[in-house]
Structure 1
Amino acid sequence: MPPSPVAAIKLLALSAMLTLSAATLAGETCTVNGKSWPLCGGDNGGWSFENGQYCVARNFCPANRTSAPAIATRAAPVDAKANPKTRAIYTWLRGIWGKSIIAGQTDLSWDDTIDMAERVHADTGKYPALMGFDFMDYGMNGTALSGQHQTEEAIAFANKGGLVSFHWHWRDPSLLKTARVNQARFYAHEPDADKNTSFTIPVANGALDANSPAYQQINDGIDLVAVQLKRLADANVTVLWRPLHEASGNNGDGWFWWGRARADGVPQAYANILLWRHMYERLVKVHGLHNLIWVWNGQDPAWYPGDDVVDIASVDIYDKADNKTYGAQLAKYRQTAQASAEKKPIALSENSYIPDPDKIRADGAWWLWFMTWNDGAGPAGVSSPNNFWTGEYFNTAAHKRKVYHHPNVITLDKLPRF
């Protein structure tokens, strides 16, 4: 006679506990950012909270992911209700991946007087197909602040036929509604302590702590950018949405508060994944935003939030100033690809040096796009380590022209009308 349903559940639970105990007793662990965590008894393909402790699924442990994903790329965005334009753009992106590279450039969000797209055009005769904008200063006091016109700039660029990306230097959620721009920071690990915030993702018993003040402050921040994303949706602008960027920081040091080191025993990666999934739920299902293509940029496979909430995987690469070889960055490309079980398109979401398209083709490191960071040191043409486009500190004039006129590179004039 087979066991009753209740008895079967108890047997399964006991089996999972014994498996977890056996793994722990055997010393089976997974190292993430220099710290060891036990392997889970079950295998849900990620992090878990089992029997009061945090653990990592065996197949999710980065050390066990050494080959490219085998599951096919999704035919549609992860948001099943994505609007028609967003679906069309996703389909097009999926179709060009492995054949072409989209030219991207970040805007200088803290100085509205500088137009980075025009700087690119002045140096190459071409405009980028993709511009990256930032919600960094939204919610800060002072209506005259530069950076609070990014939505309008993004709509204007989209109306020219361009693609739009947004990231978000999310300032301290506890101060976002009250502080001036120089008081609410987003850093967690800067040498200058005055630039840091102590805000921490609230976690209790393996879940976001919905009873904490920090939880409501996080929701207030998400709701703040939801207003801008809704404006973009109403203007029929699809957003390549890259929140919680560079989550793992420099080898897990946690540059930003959404990846900070913790003293409560909660894995940094686990807390960040909880926040990503909560943001997805709130923006898509609570606010009904269906104009977003979700771009993950955790920098470390152990921080990957799941194939059901990611459309594109990406990585930021800043090389030293003596590296004018313009290599394809194949190793980083492969590492980023291994973060997912599905074959996600891979993007270079921030860069100093622009990989040579000939080397990309030769190595097979087909970045879906590159996104050169912005300038920060005054007039165009000045070579400075703070100028990632203008001047020749990173990319020479000849290299920039080669890239923007390369047959495999998609510039604004080559984009279809979606």
Structure 2
Amino acid sequence: MIFPLFALFASSLAFPTVKRCGAQTYEAEDAALSGTQVLTDLGGYSGSGYVGGFDQASDKITFSVDSSSEKLYDVTIRYATPYGEKTATLSLNGGTNSDIYLAATDSWKDVKAGQLLLNEGSNSIDIVSNWGWYLIDSLTLSETAAAPDHNINPTLVNPNANADAVALYDYLRSIYGKNILSGQQDLEWTEWLAQQTGKTPALVAVDLMDYSPSRVERQGQVATTVEDAITFSEKGGIVSVLWHWNAPAGLYDTSENPWWSGFYTRATSFNVATALADPNGNDYKLIIRDIDAIAKELLRLQDANVPVLWRPLHEAEGKWFWWGAQGPEPCKQLWELMYDRMTNHHGLNNLIWVWNSLAPEWYPDPDTVDILAADVYAQGNGPMSAEYNRLIELGNDQKLIAASEVGSAPDPDQLQAYQAHWLWFAVWTDGFINNADYNPPELLKQIYNDEYVLTLDEISGWRG
């Protein structure tokens, strides 16, 4: 998971636009500024300047946009990031928020920022600090074209996938673009949701973190998540599994970075690039030891006829976890090693492989990936269209797309209006699913009772 974002507010002031190639471009220096300022130091900007000074959480610029009718628009932001890669928040009318990734660039660059569904009449569009320390030149809107039909791969990447995995994949393909599976992290919170909404999620996500050997050797065998997964599967539910992989060695184990935080880059000296470079070295052997330990648990699920949406090495591009700390190439090598070891050595044929990063340079061999996923913690219960479109482009619309971790359950009306065909969502646990800032109770109940959102009682026959 990642950190929560800030609550946002919007105001509305009119300013001129520039029309280019059928699109409308709004200059940042003409927008309403709050804590930000017009600058001219970096050459190559359009108009009379650009906006910087995003150094406080509430700093923002507000564009006022009129629309002749309710209409969906593609959004492009022209920006620069002289201090390295950043993330901004895009907010519509003070409600729908999305995270916008701004790759590092010393010169002006365009980024596709998803879609916005404008109301008829006046609308306010905010770009709010989030990480801050970036520059905004302009925002461009163009009408969104109808999405083409998906062209999803008809088979799993593992040619020996068992009947359970094939049946689940076929079911997922059959609902893609028609419905979304409701999901929740941790079995105990599915029970909480049933009490709050009258519905049980169709999918539960569990974590194999406590099966990591470097945790087991310190705390003993305390995990029950495999049993939780079997229990939920026996009820007819779908199981997603991630792994906060405690580093195999090099845990600092200090008061600031205790041993149980060893999946964080900051908490270990373990270097994945160095380990993988020496197949005869001890660190490489520890990687194999850990993969084998987790394979043993996944084999228990295979023996129990549980197909698994398997999501290891998640959020790698963030680099806050040790498997991504050395950049994309070692991480991709580790993914492909894990795929080969689990598939060909251990015969794990119940796995549907879920890659969980957005950036193209991090994408491993597509022949080892069945589903693409993103973790999104923006508030506002929005459609997460920027992340969705990035994944569609990453997989050439041949891979199913999932919102594997979210802070806010998405509003099904917005999902459909934005043509964001997420396959499932899974809300994170305490502090998110039970936090009204992320999931207002009435809206949560509405989401879980919407016909577009599938719950456990509606999917229990998926195997047949």
| Structure 1 length-normalised TM | 0.71
Unpaired segments of 5 or more residues in structure 2? 1-84, 86-101, 107-144
Q: 1:133 touches 1:167 (CA, 8 Å); kept in 2?
A: yes
Show the counterpart of 2:176.
97
The structure 2 residue matched to 1:392, chosen from 419, 432, 436, is: 436
Query: How far does residue 404 in structure 1 lie from its aligned partner after superposition?
Result: 0.4
The structure 2 residue matched to 1:357, chosen from 392, 408, 412, is: 412
The reply on whether 1:199 has 2:275 as its aligned counterpart is no
The reply on whether 1:411 has 2:452 as its aligned counterpart is no
For 2:445 and 2:149, the matched residues in 1 are separated by: 37
The structure 2 residue matched to 1:246, chosen from 315, 318, 340, is: 315
Show the counterpart of 1:161.
236
For 1:197 and 1:277, the matched residues in 2 are separated by: 23
Q: Could you say what secondary structure the match of 2:210 adopts?
A: coil
Show the counterpart of 1:272.
331
Q: 1:302 touches 1:339 (CA, 8 Å); kept in 2?
A: no
Alignment of 1:251-262 (within 5 A): 254-260=319-325, 262=326
Unpaired segments of 5 or more residues in structure 1? 1-30, 37-66, 109-114, 191-195, 263-267, 376-386
Q: 2:208 touches 2:294 (CA, 8 Å); kept in 1?
A: yes
The reply on whether 1:316 has 2:375 as its aligned counterpart is yes
Query: How far does residue 34 in structure 1 lie from its aligned partner after superposition?
Result: 4.0
For 1:123 and 1:145, the matched residues in 2 are separated by: 33
The structure 2 residue matched to 1:77, chosen from 134, 156, 160, is: 156
Look up the equivalent residue of 2:244 and give its one-letter code. H
Q: Give the 3 Å change call, closer, same or farther, for CA 328–302 of structure 1 in structure 2.
A: same
Show the counterpart of 2:364.
305
Look up the equivalent residue of 1:201 and give its one-letter code. V
Q: Give the 3 Å change call, closer, same or farther, for CA 153–292 of structure 1 in structure 2.
A: same
The structure 1 residue matched to 2:393, chosen from 338, 344, 350, is: 338
For 1:188 and 1:156, the matched residues in 2 are separated by: 30
User: Identity percentage over the alignment?
Assistant: 40
For 2:400 and 2:462, the matched residues in 1 are separated by: 21
Look up the equivalent residue of 1:398 and give its one-letter code. E
Alignment of 1:111-190 (within 5 A): 115-138=188-211, 139=213, 140-141=216-217, 146=222, 148-174=223-249, 182-190=258-266
Show the counterpart of 2:44.
none
Q: Could you say what secondary structure the match of 1:132 adopts?
A: strand
For 1:189 and 1:299, the matched residues in 2 are separated by: 19
The structure 2 residue matched to 1:402, chosen from 430, 446, 458, is: 446
Q: Could you say what secondary structure the match of 1:137 adopts?
A: helix
Q: Give the 3 Å change call, closer, same or farther, for CA 35–278 of structure 1 in structure 2.
A: farther
For 2:197 and 2:315, the matched residues in 1 are separated by: 29
Query: How far does residue 35 in structure 1 lie from its aligned partner after superposition?
Result: 8.9
For 2:338 and 2:421, the matched residues in 1 are separated by: 29
Q: 2:353 touches 2:371 (CA, 8 Å); kept in 1?
A: yes
For 1:69 and 1:410, the matched residues in 2 are separated by: 24
Look up the equivalent residue of 1:369 and give its one-letter code. W
Alignment of 1:38-77 (within 5 A): 72-77=151-156
Q: Could you say what secondary structure the match of 2:182 adopts?
A: strand
Comparing 366-375 and 299-308, the one that deviates more:
299-308
Show the counterpart of 1:286.
345
Q: Could you say what secondary structure the match of 2:268 adopts?
A: coil
Q: Give the 3 Å change call, closer, same or farther, for CA 221–69 of structure 1 in structure 2.
A: farther
Q: 1:69 touches 1:342 (CA, 8 Å); kept in 2?
A: no
Show the counterpart of 1:373.
428
Q: Give the 3 Å change call, closer, same or farther, for CA 391–318 of structure 1 in structure 2.
A: closer
Q: 1:73 touches 1:344 (CA, 8 Å); kept in 2?
A: yes
Partner deviation per Cα, 1:327-375 (whole Å, 9 max, x = no partner): 2111110011222245111100000011110110011001000010011
Q: Could you say what secondary structure the match of 2:259 adopts?
A: coil
Look up the equivalent residue of 2:438 and give its one-letter code. F
Query: How far does residue 74 in structure 1 lie from its aligned partner after superposition?
Result: 1.4
Look up the equivalent residue of 2:268 and give its one-letter code. T
Query: How far does residue 232 in structure 1 lie from its aligned partner after superposition?
Result: 0.3
The number of residue pairs the alignment matches comes to 317
Q: Give the 3 Å change call, closer, same or farther, for CA 80–35 of structure 1 in structure 2.
A: farther
For 1:359 and 1:99, the matched residues in 2 are separated by: 14
Q: Give the 3 Å change call, closer, same or farther, for CA 143–90 of structure 1 in structure 2.
A: same
Show the counterpart of 2:296.
227
For 2:243 and 2:233, the matched residues in 1 are separated by: 19
For 1:224 and 1:33, the matched residues in 2 are separated by: 37
| Structure 2 length-normalised TM | 0.64
Q: Give the 3 Å change call, closer, same or farther, for CA 412–171 of structure 1 in structure 2.
A: same
Q: 2:250 touches 2:268 (CA, 8 Å); kept in 1?
A: no
Query: How far does residue 187 in structure 1 lie from its aligned partner after superposition?
Result: 4.2
The structure that is strand-richer by fraction is: 2
Q: Could you say what secondary structure the match of 1:79 adopts?
A: coil
Q: Give the 3 Å change call, closer, same or farther, for CA 86–393 of structure 1 in structure 2.
A: same
Look up the equivalent residue of 2:233 and give its one-letter code. A
The reply on whether 1:88 has 2:159 as its aligned counterpart is no
Q: 2:358 touches 2:390 (CA, 8 Å); kept in 1?
A: no
For 1:394 and 1:358, the matched residues in 2 are separated by: 17
